[in-house]
Structure 1
Amino acid sequence: MASRILHRLRHALTREGEQEALADCGSEAEEFPESSELEDDTEGLSTRLSGTLSFTSHYEEEEEEEEKEAEDEAAPGGTGQGPGEALGPELLGVGPGDRAHDPTMPERQGSNMLTRQLQELWRKSRDSLVPQRLLFEVTSASVVNERSSKYVLYTIYLIRAGQFDKAPATITRRYSDFEELHRVLRHRFGSRMAGVSFPRKRLRRNFTAETIAKRSRAFEQLLSHLHSLPDIRQSAEFLEFFFLSDLQAAQRLTCTGMYCEALAAWSNAHRLQDKLGACHSSHFLLTLAGLAVCHQELDQLAEAHACSEQALRLLGAQDSHPLLAPFLQAYVHLTWMLGKDKRQAEARLQSLQDSGLAGPQPPSLKELLIKQPLP
């Protein structure tokens, strides 16, 4: 409803406010965004204005609005006027005395006031947005038949908004996975999740195209809403929903020597963590270790060296971190294999051994990776 009102106001303002926009461009153009930027954030504004997450489809919302408009026009006193007239001069902040002086004054004053209100609303909402917005898009859904169960598997792409994302990350999840995420987050963030509904289970018609389409849209809205809340976005429960299964599969494949398959799983986990802003966690260091091991086993030494180097930059001066010595050991070996200078890394590894922070024979990255427990 809010997005529809904003859409109408925007068209009304385009017709009525061109003169004012040109006259005020010297003062307000620097303070407020272009109308195109305001339009880009309409969906975000409508989500925040609604208060409660809605899981009805876009087409259903349009049909409901059209039906309501038809009823209003058919009702006694219904005028069927446009957006600016339907609001009424009193709501636009114009009194009867003003109309007597200038017939065009109500539209102009109303236009200016509404423009300022929308600009102020845009400015406040922009402050609450995350620095890099993510889009969650269900690209496909397939019905899976197993011996004892039948379910729908949804494929979701994570894409950075506002730019061409050449490497989107992908996850596949079932309805029960989303339901478990919702349950866990409600338990931990009760007040923050109070206004978030969840598509209920159905006794029948769970596998119809209509039900699957509605749930796909619902899951997109749910993930976008959760990602807009900083405390939930940074929580382990929310982050692990995306990449924990990839880490578990990658670790299992690495242990069995299936390095090509493991590399694909480690790489997707890396993309997911990068897009979600989880690049300073122990999970991310474990992912870099997995990438380095698989690249090295597949004789991709430059890629393995780059992963080890990135991990050492993240570790910085954390001399007591259990992954530091294994990463240094791998980095020294790979640097030597590539014919580069390894003296600085070699000296740091020796210093750790002399101080007792690393044993005389620290475990290799592969050994540590295999023994590392995952939930």
Structure 2
Amino acid sequence: MASKLMDRLRRTLFKEGEVVSKEPIDVTEERFPESSELEDDTECLSERLGGTLCFDGESALESEDPDTSPVGPSPGGSSLLTRQLQDSWRSLRFRSVPQKLVFEVTDASVVQESSSKYVLYTIHLIQSGMFDEIPAAITRRYTDFKRLHSCLRRRHRDNMERVGFPRKKLRKNFVAETIAKRSRAFEQYLTHMHSLAELRRSPTFLEFFYLGDLQAGQMLMRVGRYQEALGPLLNGLRLQEKLGCEEQGKQQPHHQQGTHWLFTLLALVTCFQELEQLGEAQEHCDRALRDLAPSPEALQQHHFHPLLIPLLQTNVRLSWKISKDKRQWEVLLQEIQDSGADTGNQPSLKEYLIKETLVESEGDTKAKLKREKAT
């Protein structure tokens, strides 16, 4: 069989009576690269792919039909494979991918402060099922997690009955093995808490992530350090977005999470305005107004948020300065005036932000009593 194949190959390549040229054939390096170059490229590709390449769904690579095989006798096999891969890619693009929030400990460092020593964990919140290009992170120590666990047990005893928590050791708390195990335990702990609907919406659980950033931003704003305040405020905004606080704020603007969500947007409006970044200020102002815009019935009965009027006035001024269409909000402001509401002597947004008391939900009652005594 081999001799017949060789004979057929000779007749195909060389005609009878034709002298084979002894001149060397010019083969360029571009058409036929050296084997070493091919091996290097393959190795790099293998590293980038992590050694595995997987296709979901029915793929032409799984087919044993010779008519659809890229090495089969059919001249259209290769194009058929390409079409099947394209169809598979289109189906993947439009396939609904479930999204969930992933908690990942990306760093754990030992901190020494005078007489105290502790481990500070950095946890990133990542939205899976999509390309999450907006990072959001928190830094917490063991005692912060322990406090969260105690509060959740008091408020949600049924859900927390069988939830364990990593105990603190008498020694070896700062060795690499203990820190690594505890990091994985905290990831699993937060993932479990977020998987339960009641705990996922709990103010105690939500405020564990973002409230510290809002308080830090407010303190910096009070002393006029607006540029420094942007960092924690923007991170607080991203954390609330990933945790679903935006939707809760729209549904219940007067609820604690709605108040915190609005505070974050207005604080960013003020900081950007003070820093002469008017486009960013107007963007966040517009976003807050879309959450607070009242229905026609609520407008007639004067049932709207007390900060709606100063927010509208701020947005109209900002829109005018950056030459952006402001007619929608001018119409709403005029409707409020026509309804008989007093649009003068309104508190400034900065005044509200500085005076607002940001406290944990568990301490709301005590905070209210303190404010009542103070007044």
* TM over 0.5, shorter chain: yes
Aligned to 1:244: 211
Q: Which runs of 5+ in 2 are unaligned?
A: 1-61, 64-96, 250-257, 360-375
SS of 2:314's equivalent?
A: helix
1:145-164 correspondence to structure 2 within 5 Å: 145-164=112-131
The one of 219, 226, 232 equivalent to 1:259 is 226
- Could you tell me how far 1:222 is from its partner in structure 2? 0.2
Which is worse superposed, 343-352 or 145-154? 343-352
The one-letter code sitting in structure 1 at the alignment partner of 2:243 is: L
| Runs of 4+ in structure 1 over 4 Å off | 353-359
1:43-192 correspondence to structure 2 within 5 Å: 132-192=99-159
TM-score (norm 2): 0.63
The one-letter code sitting in structure 2 at the alignment partner of 1:224 is: T
SS of 1:192's equivalent?
A: helix
* CA displacement, residues 70-123 of structure 1 (integer Å, 9 cap, x when unaligned): xxxxxxxxxxxxxxxxxxxxxxxxxxxxxxxxxxxxxxxxxxxxxxxxxxxxxx
Aligned to 2:313: 329
TM-score (norm 1): 0.63
Instruction: Measure, in 2, the Cα distance between the counterparts of 1:160 and 1:202.
Output: 33
Quick one: structure 1 residues 343 and 166, their matched pair in 2 at CA, closer, same or farther if it must change by over 3 Å?
closer
Residue identity over aligned pairs, in percent, reads 58
Instruction: Measure, in 2, the Cα distance between the counterparts of 1:363 and 1:212.
Output: 49
Instruction: Measure, in 1, the Cα distance between the counterparts of 2:205 and 2:312.
Output: 32
Q: Which runs of 5+ in 1 are unaligned?
A: 1-20, 23-129
Aligned to 1:101: none
The one-letter code sitting in structure 1 at the alignment partner of 2:263 is: L
Instruction: Measure, in 2, the Cα distance between the counterparts of 1:131 and 1:320.
Output: 36
- Could you tell me how far 1:132 is from its partner in structure 2? 3.1
- Could you tell me how far 1:350 is from its partner in structure 2? 4.2
Give yes or no for contact 2:226–2:274 (8 Å, CA) kept in 1. Answer: yes
Aligned to 1:372: 356
Aligned residues: 249
The Cα RMSD (Å) is: 2.1
The one of 307, 316, 322 equivalent to 2:293 is 316
1:215-364 correspondence to structure 2 within 5 Å: 215-279=182-246, 280=249, 281-317=258-294, 319-353=303-337, 355=339, 357-364=341-348
Work out which of the two has the higher radius of gyration on C-alpha atoms and give 1 or 2.
2
Instruction: Measure, in 1, the Cα distance between the counterparts of 2:210 and 2:193.
Output: 16
Instruction: Measure, in 2, the Cα distance between the counterparts of 1:257 and 1:132.
Output: 39
Which is worse superposed, 265-274 or 140-149? 140-149
Instruction: Measure, in 1, the Cα distance between the counterparts of 2:342 and 2:183.
Output: 50
Instruction: Measure, in 2, the Cα distance between the counterparts of 1:374 and 1:155.
Output: 23
Instruction: Measure, in 2, the Cα distance between the counterparts of 1:371 and 1:173.
Output: 27
